[in-house]
Structure 1
């Protein structure tokens, strides 16, 4: 049976055990995905990356995930989340290990592209929790597992340097520590794949393969939902846009905020990094709040209530980012950055409190498409910021070349700050537009009644229906 409560201590329960393992697997994937970020100064020096190649590495890191997320959702519908997660972790470990062996900029960029594939772990996590928890709690379960997994994207800023320090203590040269650290992260991914295979199952009733053999999961023509029909559902594409406007912007901020804080407010790199780490740590509770309030509004106003809350919190996110982009005071800037952090992560949780109800027979495919939207948003936002920043920095360097190296660097930092600031403002406006578009998501009376029946316990959806 699906779990109706998120009792985190009830680890003998299949849904709760699945929740914990999927969240930990997601954390490890994000830890490895962004594991190279704390070492970028070392990588630039070691491999001789140009500024353009550094920006390209950020873009490639989120580009590969788009393709992986689109594919993995359909594979989950067909083969089940257990096998999909197992193979994603095992195969995804390969480029994580290989990046530690890269000798040229091209090899490094290629590895960053393929490492991005493990970002598809998000889709499997959301799919697995969606079929393990009942409608009254599924939003909270999805948001919490995703939020705690997202922590890996910020925890590596503390964890990776610690791993590097441990490696150095064994006699490894400082300049090689980043390589060994990434190799270690790759092996952890591989081991987690084995754990996922042996300690989880696809549904509360068993694995997909077993259910098909016993006839408890018949593959009937009338139950099939083609991928094409999923693509034709306009609601899927609105949620694609919505997720681009929340998770995509979170990824963008992860990759650019360190430099922005240094250039705009004159902070030291360590201080800026700690602020960004704090931003990531808000995933402990912020994304859960989005799912929680999504469930609450769903209980009060039905499926439409979930959409209304998503619209509200997404609009708040856009406003917070736009205001932050205009602040010149560090104190005021931190206040609005915290507000943005809270609302962007709540919007992510609220999005996946809506996703499981679009089409219960194609949760994997829909999760994949919506999840890919986040990376498309990050890709486009990174292109915007790269183009603005590159042009502004080049112009500043050219105009101040005769004033000396120090003056040129100061002008370059100011130009980069202004370019990224205007980019953040534009992105904030886009988020507000995406929020307004969410209001177009509609559900039929039959959909509303079906959810009410399931929540009242009058009907229990089978694994096939879910």
Structure 2
């Protein structure tokens, strides 16, 4: 594995550089999507009091918030590759603004739940920027750029948690929470128009490569086709688990009849998607895939597994960490426990860019191996924490674990744009969906086991990810994209 000799540094203050300007435009778009997506979280107590909601109804809102994100990332990934990230990001921001304002002024639980469910679609915004950033940065800088995009954008949820309660108090009254959330939606909508006006899909003179067919991910071999179909199954299982958690066995949002209907619908959609995937690829494969157009689906599958362990565990741990600290250490208030737990998400500002930078500087596969090994050890250490630990040490272990988790996310998305440029949106969408699948699986495990066992389960699954990454190929040389007129363009992906 070679060390990149090219400079991987970026001057983020050089706004006259079009690619730096694009990076700032894009990470802030992602920042706003996460702020909108999680704007309700720090205001749940106010929302509950205002609408007189039960604890079960609040838990249902939290589940609904992530339910649609899994298919959304797949769908948006396809749209980005076909239409381009500029218009898709602008539309997502503007539509999300209306949904956010609708949620803010909902007066019944039913309308509140519908808007919360639909707002899960905004979680697909991440995928759009991955493709856009990859168009503007060369291979030796793309990991660092994607890490900044992901890390700074992801901070939107933490920023919302820190700012919105104060905003709600400033507005005052029983409806302060409504105006605070609506303001975030308004800013998001206005920025959608700004983004459309200022962003561009590619640098001037560059080509935006699109997949030859739409409707399903194209693969290069029959073996890859069967692997793609198998990789779709966990996403449907995660949706089935989410539906079960909303049934009488969980938060009792609806009856068993609705649950069974939903499960039947998932089976029908899976069969339809499998048939569509087969049809889109069969003709393509029978005709023979030219050598220049081939790519390794093995790389995609392994990165899915890696993102399951990295982002999946982050989403799950961020959801439970405040309560974990509150119940583990005596004498903590809910506010203090929340502040201590926020250290996990706060690390995103540095960790994810560092993971991308390490990947650019020291090699893709090697960096990802180190990060996953580090997070496996980190979660094992978190499993050892109990009430006898010194609180400062527990927080330091948590932050160290968080560094490897988020740096691992940066390392995953440093590699995704280097597999097949014309399909970066779809590949990023699938990996992103696997992150949400991981969160669903881990949180489901948590509902049956102790906190310590929960952390040990994540550590064990991370070791499976480590073994998978061991069999990855380090991106080298160039990838080729063939235009409709037969012209071949090559894109550097790594040093030989």
Runs of 4+ displaced beyond 4 Å = 216-221, 223-226, 459-463
CA distance, structure 1, for counterparts of residue 491 and residue 304 of structure 2: 27
Instruction: After TM superposition, list the pairs within 5 Å mapping 1:34-433 onto structure 2.
Output: 34-168=38-172, 173=173, 175-205=174-204, 227-229=217-219, 232=228, 233-266=297-330, 267-298=332-363, 306-328=364-386, 329=389, 330-388=391-449, 419-433=450-464
Deviations 1:119-174 (CA, angstroms, capped at 9, x unpaired): 11111111111111000000000001110001111111111112212212xxxx1x
Q: After superposition, what is the alpha-carbon deviation per residue over 1:206-264, rounded to whole angstroms, capped at 9, x for unaligned?
A: 6xxxx8xxxx668795x999613286423212211211111111111221111111111
Once residues 282 and 97 of structure 1 are traced to their aligned partners in structure 2, the CA distance between those partners, rounded to angstroms, is 30
TM-score, normalisation: structure 1: 0.80
Of Structure 1 and Structure 2, the greater helix share is in 1
Q: 1:217 to 1:382 in 2, by over 3 A?
A: closer
How far apart are the structure 1 equivalents of 2:358 and 2:336? 33
After TM superposition, give the deviation of residue 371 of structure 1 in Å: 1.1
Structure 1 residues 53 and 323: alpha-carbon distance in aligned structure 2, compared to 1, 3 A threshold: farther
**2:422 & 2:216 partners in 1: Cα distance?**
10
Q: Which of the residues 1, 10, 14 maps onto 2:14?
A: 10
User: CA, structure 1 residues 319+6, in 2 after alignment: closer, same or farther (shift >3 Å)?
Assistant: same
- Rounded Cα–Cα distance in structure 2 between residues aligned with 1:75 and 1:229: 18
Partners of 1:318 and 1:162 lie apart in 2 by 37
Gaps of 5+ in 2: 1-6, 229-296, 480-487
Residue aligned with 1:352, SS: helix
Deviation at 1:16, TM superposition (A): 1.1
Q: Secondary structure at the match of 1:433?
A: helix
Give, in whole Å, the separation in 2 of the partners of 1:47 and 1:26.
30
Worse-superposed segment, 21-30 or 7-16: 7-16
**Count of residue correspondences:** 401
| Deviation sequence 1:171-221 (CA, Å, 0-9, x none) | xx1x32212211111111101101110011100026xxxx8xxxx668795
Q: Note the aligned Cα RMSD (angstroms).
A: 2.6
- 1:460 Cα deviation from its structure 2 partner: 7.9
Instruction: Give the Å deviation of 1:377.
Output: 1.1
Partner Cα separation in structure 2 for residue 220 and residue 52 of structure 1: 44
TM-score (norm. length: structure 2): 0.75
Distance change in 2, residues 1:429/1:59 (3 Å)? farther
* Cα distance change of structure 1 residues 219 and 155 upon mapping to structure 2, 3 Å threshold: closer
Distance in 2 separating the partners of 1:121 and 1:219: 19
Partner secondary structure for residue 450 of structure 1: strand
Give, in whole Å, the separation in 2 of the partners of 1:202 and 1:341: 33
